Amino acid sequence: MSKPRLVLIGNGMAGVRTIEELLKIAPDHYEITIFGAEPHPNYNRILLSPVLAGEMTVPEIVLNELDWYASNGITLHTGKQVVAIDRVRRKVIADDGSEAPYDRLLIATGSTPFMLPIPGNDLPGVIGYRDIKDTDEMIATAKVHKHAVVIGGGLLGLEAANGLKLRGMDVTVVHIGPWLLERQLDETAGRMLQQSLEDKGLKFLLQKQTEMLVQGESGRVAAVRFKDGMQIPADLVVMAAGIRPNYALAEKSGIYCNRGIVVNDTMQTYDPKIYAVGECVSHRGIAYGLVAPLFEQAKVAANHLAGYGIGRYTGSVTSTKLKVTGIDLFSAGDFMGGKDTEEIVLNDPHGGVYKKLVIKDNKLVGGVMYGDTADGPWYFQLLKDARDIHDIRDSLIFGQSLVGDVGHAGNSKAASMADSAEVCGCNGVTKGTIVKAIKEQGLFTLDEVKKHTKAASSCGSCAGLVEQILASTIGGAYTPAASDKKPICGCTEHSHQKVREAIRNEHLTTKEAVFAELGWTTPNGCEKCRPAINYYLISTWPHEAKDDPQSRLINERSHANIQKDGTYSVVPRMWGGLTTPAELRAIADVAEKYQVPTVKVTGGQRIDLLGIKKEDLPAVWADLNAAGMVSGHAYGKSIRTVKTCVGAEHCRFGTQLAMDMGVKLEKMLFDMYAPHKVKLAVSGCPRNCAEAGIKDVGVIGVDSGYELYVGGNGGIKTEVAQFLCKVKSDEEVMEYSGAFLELYRQEAWYLERTCHWLDRVGLDYVKGRIVEDEDGRRTLYAGLVAALKDAKDPWSTSREAQPVKQFIPITVAA
C-alpha cells in the first residue's frame, strides 16, 4: 500500500521544522515533497545579518544540507516557486510547469518585505532585506558604491545598517517613528541605542517621511527625497519598513485569508487537508514574526499530520532579546506601562545600563532592558508564570542573583562566561561547546542542546544556565516555554499539570490508560515519563493504581544507591537518628559478612554501607530485616530522614522533646512516595542544631510549642525554609506537616522539590490551604494517613510511634 503524499510549499525555517518534527514521531508516514523558491537548501534566516557583516558565510548558516533531504527520502525542488494550488485535483503547480499531487498540503510561504508605495521603489539599487539574494546584492553594492540609506529603524533596518557600515559604506537610517525600535524599546532605551550607534558612525533621520526615490543618470537610484523637501544621496536603498504575510498563493486558491492564512488551533486552514505554519499564518488574528512561536506551530502541525491529534497551539507570549552592534537589548510584555501600573527603573547612562520593570497587581507585566540583559529570561519567566513578586520586589530590579531566585533560567551571567568555563559538571560540557553546537547545528530549544551536547541531561541543575546561553546565542529566536506548558518528555505534548488533571478527572489508574487517553506517541513511554506517570497514578489513586516496579529507577528497584564503580550503597533506617546496640551489632555483622569496604555516618544521622555487590543485595536486606531494620529510602523519591537534635530529653537548652517528635514524624511518613526526596528536621530549641531551616519541613521547638517551616533545601543551591505557622502540640505538628506534604504530593510535578513547588504556587496559597482552611487541612492529613495505611511499615496500623514489632521483607528487583 502506497504512503499518503505530503507536499510542503516553502523551504524555510518554519516549514522544514514541521517536517523535522514529523520525522521524529512518524518517520515513514508520508512521501514528502518540498518546493522552495530559493536555489538553496533550508538555512537560518536569522543569521543573514552576520553574513552581511562578514562574520559568517552562507554555507555556515545552512540548517539542512542537500544530503539530509535525500537521506530522509524527501523530494526537493529548489528554485521553483509554486504558482497554483488545484484543490479539486489536490495538486500544486510550479512556475516551470512541474506538478506534485498531495493528500495533505502544508503551506509555509513566510513573509515578504514591505516596499513603500512611492515613486522609484522599483529602481535598480532598491531592495528589501529578506533572503540570501538580498544579502549578496548588498555585499556586492558595498564594493563599488558609497552611500546607503536604510528605510526603517526596526531590527532588520539596524542590522542592515550595521552590516553595510562594516562593509565600508556611509549609512543613514531613516525612521518614521520618534525613536528606534519603538515596538521593542521605550523612549529612554531607544535614545540610548541611537547615541551608541551614532558613536559607531551611523547617521539617523527620525520622524522623516519618504516622498520618492530619485533616479540618477546611470538609471539606478541616486537619492532619497522627503516630504519636507530634504534630499540625501543614496546609491543603495534598503527597504526595512516591516514585513507582510505572504498569503497571495493561498488566497488565489480559495483558502480563507485575513491578513494571513487563517488557521485554527491545530494549524489547519478552512480546507482541513491543508495546513499552514509560519509568518504567512494568521492565528486568532495574530501573525507572528519571531522564530519561537513558529516552532511551536510546527510541533502542533506535525502532531496532527502524524495522526495523533493531541496538540493545540493557543498563541504565544513573546519577548525580544536582541544584540545590535554588540549592544544587548531585551523587552517583553507591556513594557510601556500605563494606567494602574507601577514602574521600577534603574538608569545609568554613563555605565550604559537601563532597566525598567512594569508591575501591576504585584505581578511583573512588562520590562525593557538596555546593556545588561542577563536576567531577561528570568524576568520573562516571571511574566509568563504570572508569579506574585511582592516578596522579592525590593531587590527585583537588581536581578536574579541578588534575589536568590531559583527560577528556570539559572542565576549566572551566561553572557560574561568564558568559552572554557564548565557549564555541566556531570558531563564536562563547556560554554564554548554549547555555543558551537547551537550555531553549527541550528539549535533553538533546550531539549536540542541536551541531545547534541549532553549538557543539562543528567542532574539538570545547570538547565537554567544552558537556557541563558541559548538565549544569549540566538537572541530573539529563543523564547522559554511557560513552566506549566512544558511537555513531560518527547513522547507527548502534554505538561505535568495536564497529565495530573487527566488522571484525576478521567479516573485513570494504569499507565496504559494514560497513554491511550492522551495519545502518547510511543507505545511504552520513555525513562522520563514512565516514572512520572507511575507516581501520579499511585499518588492520585493509592488504593486502586498499582505501583509498577519497571517504571521505577534502578536505585528504587534495588533499594540501594548505585555507585560510580557499579557497587551499591545500603542505608538502614534509624528512626529520628536514634539506634540501639542491637542495631549497631547487626550493621557490623552485615559489614563483616559481606566484606563491606566502607561504613560511613550520613548527614541524615544514619549509617551507610558502601561497596555492596548487586548480587549480595537480597541477602544483605534479609539479614537486616531479621535484625529488625528496614530501608532508609536513601535512594528514593520519598521520605528520606527526620534529623533531630537531642532536645529536651538531654540538652539543658531544650524546650521540646525533639527526638520523640522526630521519631513520630518519621514513622508517620514511612514509605511515603513523593515527587522528589523529602527531608525533615526537628530542633528542640531555637538554637536549631538539627538545621531545620533548610529542610522540606522544619520543626523548631519554642517555649509555647513549635514553629513550622517549609520549602527548605540544602542541595545544589541552598534554599532557606519559609515560616508556615506556630502550633502547640505534637499532634498539631503531625497534622500540619502531614497536610503540607500531602498537598505537595497531590499538586507538585514529578521531580519538583518543595522549594520549587512553593516558588511556583506561592506561600500564600499553601497557607490558605493548610493554616486558614481547617477542614481542608484535616482532609489532606486524613488522605495522607489513608494513603500510607498499607505501607510496608514495621509498626501497628495506628501509625503511632510504637516500638518496632514486625517487618515485611524487602524484595529486591532484578
**What pLDDT score was predicted for residue 145?**
95
CB 71 within 8 A of CB 31: no
Q: Can you tell me the mean pLDDT for 787-814?
A: 47
**What pLDDT score was predicted for residue 410?**
37
Does residue 807 have a pLDDT over 80? no
In the CATH hierarchy, which fold is given to the domain comprising 639-788? Sulfite Reductase Hemoprotein; domain 1 (3.30.413)
Report d(CA 337, CA 360) in Å as an integer.
Answer: 9
Give the angle 81-110-105 at the CA atoms, nearest 5°: 65
pLDDT class of 156 with cuts at 50, 70, 90: confident
Q: Which CATH number fits domain 555-626: 3.40.50.300, 3.40.50.2020, 3.90.480.10, 3.10.20.70?
A: 3.90.480.10
Does residue 369 have a pLDDT over 70? yes
**What pLDDT score was predicted for residue 332?**
87
Report d(CA 742, CA 787) in Å as an integer.
Answer: 9
**What pLDDT score was predicted for residue 266?**
95
Report d(CA 589, CA 583) in Å as an integer.
Answer: 10
- pLDDT, averaged across the chain: 88
Out of 463-467, 573-577, 697-701, 779-783, which region has the weakest mean confidence (pLDDT)? 463-467
pLDDT class of 503 with cuts at 50, 70, 90: very high
pLDDT class of 790 with cuts at 50, 70, 90: low
Distances (CA, A) of 394 to 180, 353, 475: 31, 19, 28
What does residue 612 show for φ and ψ, rounded to 5 degrees?
Answer: -85, 135
Please, what sign has the CA dihedral across residues 622, 586, 629, 614?
negative
pLDDT for 230-250, tens place per residue? 999 999 999 999 899 999 999
Does residue 797 have a pLDDT over 60? no
Does residue 140 have a pLDDT over 90? yes
Does residue 783 have a pLDDT over 90? yes
CB 696 within 8 A of CB 679: yes
Q: What is the pTM of this model?
A: 0.59
**What pLDDT score was predicted for residue 814?**
47
Q: Can you tell me the mean pLDDT for 348-356?
A: 89
**What pLDDT score was predicted for residue 461?**
54
pLDDT for 481-492, tens place per residue? 556 667 887 788
DSSP letter assigned to residue 631:
B
Does residue 798 have a pLDDT over 50? no
Does residue 439 have a pLDDT over 90? no
Q: Can you tell me the mean pLDDT for 200-219?
A: 94
Strand, helix or coil for residue 42: coil
pLDDT for 693-721, tens place per residue? 999 999 999 999 999 999 998 876 678 99
pLDDT for 294-321, tens place per residue? 988 999 999 999 988 778 899 887 777 6
Q: What does R_g of the chain's alpha carbons equal in angstroms?
A: 31
* Residue closest to 146 by CA, chosen among 240, 50, 233, 54: 233
Distances (CA, A) of 610 to 596, 621, 634, 679, 702: 6, 14, 12, 21, 38
Of the chain, the percentage scoring pLDDT greater than 90 comes to: 61
Report d(CA 7, CA 274) in Å as an integer.
Answer: 10
Does residue 129 have a pLDDT over 80? yes
**What pLDDT score was predicted for residue 793?**
38
Q: What CATH number has the domain spanning 126-241?
A: 3.50.50.60
Q: Which three three-digit cell numbers place residue 725?
A: 505557622
Report d(CA 487, CA 496) in Å as an integer.
Answer: 7
Q: What CATH number has the domain spanning 5-111+245-305?
A: 3.50.50.60
Instruction: Find residue 92's DSSP bridge partners.
Output: 85, 100
Q: Judge residue 505's burial from the number of C-beta atoms within 10 Å of its C-beta, 0-12 exposed, 13-18 middle, 19 or more buried.
A: exposed
pLDDT class of 49 with cuts at 50, 70, 90: confident
Q: Can you tell me the mean pLDDT for 354-360?
A: 94
Report d(CA 713, CA 754) in Å as an integer.
Answer: 8
**What pLDDT score was predicted for residue 795?**
30
More confident residue, 524 or 675: 675
**What pLDDT score was predicted for residue 323?**
64
Range ranked top by mean pLDDT from 274-278, 364-368, 667-671, 762-766: 274-278
**What pLDDT score was predicted for residue 416?**
64
**What pLDDT score was predicted for residue 244?**
93
Out of 213-227, 465-479, 560-574, 728-742, which region has the weakest mean confidence (pLDDT)? 465-479
Strands 722-727 and 319-324: unpaired
Residue spans per domain, the chain: 5-111+245-305, 126-241, 496-552, 555-626, 639-788
CB 147 within 8 A of CB 236: yes
Report d(CA 460, CA 450) in Å as an integer.
Answer: 10
Out of 275-284, 729-738, 790-799, which region has the weakest mean confidence (pLDDT)? 790-799
Does residue 391 have a pLDDT over 60? yes
Strands 243-245 and 91-94: unpaired
| Two domains, one topology: 5-111+245-305 and 555-626 | no
More confident residue, 327 or 99: 99
pLDDT class of 460 with cuts at 50, 70, 90: low
Out of 17-26, 328-337, 425-434, 678-687, which region has the weakest mean confidence (pLDDT)? 425-434
DSSP string covering 33-55: EEEESSSS--B-GGGHHHHHTTS
Strand, helix or coil for residue 801: coil
